[in-house]
Amino acid sequence: MTQMALFQTQVINKAWEDPSFKALLLTDPKKAIKDALGVIIPEHIKLRTLEESSDEFYLVLPSSPSNNTPDNVQSKAMW
C-alpha cells in the first residue's frame, strides 16, 4: 500500500468512526486532518472532501503522467 493510500484509509476510517471528525472533514478538511492525525497539509495544496451517497459515485482522475517528470515525482512524493 502506498503512503497516500494508507493516509486515505486512515482518514476514511476515522470519518466512519467519529461523526465530529467527519463533520469537520467536510467543512474544513485541512484542520480536521491536522487536529486528528497531526498531518499538516501544505498551504499550496487544495483539498476537498466529498461524501458519496448510495446513488452517487465520484471518479477522480489523477494528473496526467506527462506532468510527472522524474524531477516532479521526486519532489512531490506525497503532496
Residue type, 62: P
Q: What's the chain's Rg over C-alpha atoms?
A: 14
Give the integer Cα–Cα distance in Å for 75 and 66.
15
Give the integer Cα–Cα distance in Å for 58 and 62.
13
Longest Cα–Cα distance in the chain:
40
pTM (whole model) above 0.85 = no
What mean pLDDT do residues 56-79 have? Answer: 72
What mean pLDDT do residues 22-40 have? Answer: 97
